[in-house]
Amino acid sequence: MSAKSVRRSPKTRRTKQAADFFDLRLYVAGQTARSLTAIANLQRICEQHLEGRYRIEVIDLLERPQLARGDQILALPTLVRKLPEPIRRLVGDLSDTERALVGLDLRPRSSVKS
C-alpha cells in the first residue's frame, strides 16, 4: 500500500487530484493475443485521455487465481476502475474505444458527470 501512495502526487495536492485520479486494474489470463491487445488498448486510452493521472496494474489470473473472487471477475479481459468511485467494470479487450471511454465515465452516458 505504501508503494502506491509514493507514486501519487504530494499530499498537499492529493485531495484535489484524488477526485480525478484513475486507479485501474486489468485482469487477464496468460499472455494471449487477446490479453496483449487489451493491455495495448488500455495504455493507448490512458495516454490519450488520462495523462499523468492514472495507474495501471495488470493481474494475470493464471498466476494469482485467488484474486478473481475479490473483484468479481467472470469474463476476461476485465478492466476494473477502482478509483474514482463508483467501481466500474469493463469487459472485453477494449478495442471499442468509444465504449471504453463511456465505461470509464470519460464520455457521458446520458448526463454529464464531473
In this structure, is the dihedral angle defined by the CA atoms of residues 4, 10, 15 and 17, taken in order, positive or negative?
negative
Q: How far apart are CA 13 and CA 23, in angstroms?
A: 17
Whole-number minimum distance, CB 7 to other proteins, in Å? 26
Among 8, 18, 29, 50, binds other proteins (CB under 8 A): 29
Q: Which residues in 51-110 contact other proteins (CB under 8 A)?
A: 61-62, 65-66, 68-69, 72-79, 86-96, 99-100, 102-103
Q: How many CB atoms lie within 10 A of CB 5?
A: 10
- Residues 58/61/62/64 CA torsion (nearest 10 deg): 100
Tell whether residue 27 is a contact of other proteins (CB under 8 A). yes
Whole-number minimum distance, CB 12 to other proteins, in Å? 33
Q: How many CB atoms lie within 10 A of CB 46?
A: 18
Q: Given the rule CB under 8 A, which residues bind other proteins?
A: 27, 29, 34, 37-38, 41, 61-62, 65-66, 68-69, 72-79, 86-96, 99-100, 102-103
